[in-house]
Every structure is written in C-alpha cells, then in structure tokens.
Amino acid sequence: MERIYYDSKTGNVERFMQKVAELTGWITQKIQPDMEVGQEGHLVTFTTRFGEIPETTKNFLQYASPYLLSVSSSGNRNWGRNFAVAGDKIATEYGIPLALKFELSGTNEDVNEFIAIIKARKHYGNKRRSKELDFAQ
C-alpha cells in the first residue's frame, strides 16, 4: 500500500488527495509541523507566490526527503513557466523524481495518471524508483 504525504494551503491538493484515496485506499497524510516520518512515501505539494516551494514543504523536506520516492505538484497554468514549478525545484534540489504536475485540484484524468505513475514506479529497482523516470510534463 502506498503512502502519500501532502501539503495543501487552499484545499486544492487536499481535494486531489481525497480523489486518489477514494480510488486506491492509499494512506494520505497531511504535513504537520511536528509530524514524524518513518516510512517511504510520495510527496504532493503546491506552488506558492511566483514559483516557490511552500515553507511548510521546505521544513518537511529537511527531515523527510530520504523517505520520499517521488514529488508531484499543483499549480495554476496562468503562471506560465512557473506552473507547478515547486515540483521541479524539489526534484532538482533533493534528487527526488518528479512524477506529475497538475492544475489546481486536478482533473479525473490527472488523478488516474498520478495513480498509474505511482503504480509503475514499483517496478524499478532503486530506492527512488529510478531518477531517469521523469513523467511530468
């Protein structure tokens, strides 16, 4: 069973995660300031301001990054090249494969694509399921 850690400010990522959990039964945990991480999982976050990683996500990454198998991010296409760029930045700074970028709370197609990507990563040998697999568009 997969575990997804997520950060949500406006509720978009939380709605996305609710859809994923309903379809899969996967464990989803909203990032909390004092939460402990002892199990591998995937990160889903949002992009804030003009293309920045949220502070709550940065704080989480300081101690949880070794446990993360992938990162996905939400954003708004109105921001052009800064669309969901927090995922790109996390992938680069922490060496975590980027799985998916989606708009706001995601469409049903986005949810299904996320599920398929996470399931596909189980078939690769290294801990982070191969950095070469960068599915995000």
- Domains of the chain, residue spans: 3-121
- Taking the C-alpha atoms of residue 64 and residue 133, their distance in angstroms, rounded to an integer, is 21
Q: What pTM was computed for the model? A: 0.86
Q: How confident is the model at residue 33 (pLDDT cuts 50, 70, 90)?
A: confident
Q: How far is CA 136 from CA 10, 55, 74, 82, in A?
A: 22, 23, 11, 14
Angle, vertex CA 113, rays to CA 112 and CA 117, nearest 5? 120
Token reading at 68:
């993360």
Has residue 133 got a pLDDT over 50? no
Q: How confident is the model at residue 123 (pLDDT cuts 50, 70, 90)?
A: very low
- Residue 125 confidence (pLDDT): 39
CATH (residue range 3-121):
3.40.50.360
74 beta partners: 46, 102
Convert the pLDDT of each residue in 49-70 to its tens digit. 888 999 999 999 999 999 999 9
Mean pLDDT of the chain: 86
CA dihedral defined by 17, 112, 68, 44, rounded to 10 degrees? -40
- Taking the C-alpha atoms of residue 54 and residue 5, their distance in angstroms, rounded to an integer, is 14
- Residue 137 confidence (pLDDT): 42
The C-alpha R_g of the chain, in whole angstroms, comes to 13
Has residue 71 got a pLDDT over 90? yes
Residue whose C-alpha is closest to residue 75's, from 58, 100, 40: 100
